[in-house]
Chain A
Amino acid sequence: MQSFQRFDRSTTLLIGLLVVAFLLATFDVRTAGDGLGTTMRDGAQTLFSPLQDVASAVTRPVVGFIDALSDIASLREENENLRQENLDLQKQVDQFTSLQAEIEHLRDINDLTAPDDLPTVTAQINSPGSSTLDLVRFINKGVGDGISVGDAVIDEQGLVGRVDLVFRRSARVRLIFDPNVTISVMDEVTSQSGLLTGDNDTLILRIFSADEPVREGNVIVTAGSRFPPGIVVGTVKETAADDAGFGLDTEVIAAINPSRLDFVKVIVGYSPLDAEDQELVEEEEPAEEPPAEDGSVDGEPDVLDPGDAETVDTGATP
């Protein structure tokens, strides 16, 4: 009887916890990453960030060593002589290599300039999310460093993703591989514009009215609007042509390697609406009537429907 009561209590608790979790998920999706969810995440980040930093620092040599071991495994035949090396020496070399790579990476990142010389903030990835199903990264810079939601994140290879949540001392970056992320892009060779959508481990380019085929190896860059224009996103994997007027779909090889992300730059201070205002003024304003300083006509701000192709949809209605 006692065990029955205990079982009954745990079942009741299970149902209660499931209801709480369900409500939390619903509110989180409906508020699109704002409100209670952000407050709770901020608290968790504040609590865990220092611990994660310490854990990362302590385990970095081990992680580097394991990484190096996997490389050695793939080059075993070519490196037979190296196999005999003392394990401690190997560890030291791996540690040194890891540090050297980090310095090189930092140098590359510091040499990197954002399009149009926009101001940037250098940040380090301090957590890759809680599972491999997550297509996010947490960086060690937040509101206090001038980062805000929507900022583009780049590394020396190209576009990494977009800030979708900002905390006091950290921020969450949604990678371009996330299916919820769509980017307005342009083929640098043909100048045709299209939409690039994440597909977990690859990127899909869609051009709805393609006048000419996109060819393998063509570089795809951001077309402006929400992301600053001209950032390299990737290269076309296979040549594709418009199929009977239905547009073309093809895969794009991302410029970045998500497994190798360490230091990144966050482009701050870029306003897509300013860019659109500028474009609008350049296209529509007659030469004899110069635009007002805020980019509006006759000093009145344009009411623009951004109609932005790029979106970071943090969730959908269940």
Chain B
Amino acid sequence: MRSRAVAISLLLVFIAVVAQTAVFGDGRINPFGASPAVVLVVVLACARYIDPEPALLLGFTGGMLLDLLGGAPLGLWAMSYTVVVYIALRFRNRADDGPVIVGLGVFSLTLIAHALFVIIGTLFGERFFTSTAVIKNTLLPAAYNVLVAAVVFPIVTRMIGTRQHLGWTT
């Protein structure tokens, strides 16, 4: 049953990658010049219900796919998402505390993911800090992700959550 949950999670991440690279972004749905990080929301939603190791691999895979389909050096999103999933795993039982906590968690983790991406990217020669747009492109996706999470989390819970909720101790 757990492998089924992992397989569904992987499929959802693939769909999210297609959606993020084809539907959102500049010239697509991009309100106020920023778009949500749909892949991260899906990864976080799935990480609530699968074991820590597959969750980490799921985050790494999602990030790596974004790297492969993006313009930054390979591995930057993979690093960011893996770290964020690891943090999420430490706090995932708090998701039971209600939607406000989930919303705050998604906002904070998205912020951390983008901040890590910008910092690691800068170490690898990317020039994100030359413009104030980097602040907008870090804060707005975090806010959008809270809205996206309101849709994605119930769907993921319905698909893999009912029998797979592992709680704190796993």
Contacts and interface: CB of A to CB of B under 8 A. Distances in A.
Given A138-B69, A259-B27, A14 B74 contact: no
B123 A200 contact: no
B137 interface: yes
B82 A318 contact: no
Interface stretch (B4-12, B29-37, B145-153, B154-162): B29-37
Interface in A135-186: 135-136, 138, 172, 174, 178-180
Contacts of A135: 71
Interface centre among A14, A51, A260 (most CB of B within 10 A): A14
B71 A21 contact: no
Contacts of B72: 133-134
Nearest to B137: A132
A129 B169 CA distance: 38
B125 to A, nearest CB: 3
Contacts, number: 200
13 contacts: A3-B170, A6-B170, A18-B79, A21-B78, A23-B75, A28-B73, A56-B23, A63-B23, A129-B25, A130-B77, A131-B70, A135-B71, A317-B125
B134 to A, nearest CB: 7
Contacts of B76: 21, 25
Interface in A193-245: 199-202
A156 B73 CA distance: 30
B83 interface: yes
Contacts of A258: 26-27
Interface in B116-159: 117-118, 120-121, 123-128, 130-131, 133-134, 137, 141
A17 B84 CA distance: 13
Q: Give the bracket for the number of chain B residues in contact with chain A.
A: 35 or more
Q: Which applies to chain B's interface (DSSP): helix, strand, loop or mixed?
A: helix
B83 A24 contact: no
A262 B26 CA distance: 11
* For the complex of A and B, 7 pairs with smallest distance between CB atoms: A316-B125, A136-B71, A130-B70, A200-B131, A128-B25, A44-B68, A179-B127
A179 B47 CA distance: 36
Given A126-B22, A134-B70, A318-B124, 7 more contacts: A9-B52, A56-B23, A128-B28, A130-B66, A131-B25, A135-B71, A200-B128
B65 interface: yes
Nearest to A9: B53
Secondary structure at the A interface, as helix, strand, loop or mixed, is: helix
Interface residues of A, number: 69
B32 to A, nearest CB: 10
A131 B66 contact: yes
B20 interface: yes
A132 B35 contact: yes
Given A10-B52, A21-B78, A259-B30, A130 B18 contact: no
Contact of B56 (A10, A25, A262, A313): A10
Nearest to B80: A21
A54 to B, nearest CB: 8
A269 interface: no
Contact of A316 (B33, B67, B124): B124
B126 A315 contact: yes
A170 to B, nearest CB: 10
Contacts of A313: 125
Contact of A14 (B28, B66, B86): B86
Contacts of A133: 72, 114, 117-118, 121, 128, 134, 137
Contacts of B125: 29, 180, 313, 315-318
Given A48-B17, A132-B141, A55 B77 contact: no
Given A18-B83, A48-B17, A133-B117, A28 B52 contact: no
A96 interface: no
A75 interface: no
Contacts of A106: none
B164 interface: no
B89 interface: yes
A246 B90 CA distance: 55
A21 B49 CA distance: 25
A24 B33 contact: no
A3 B37 contact: no
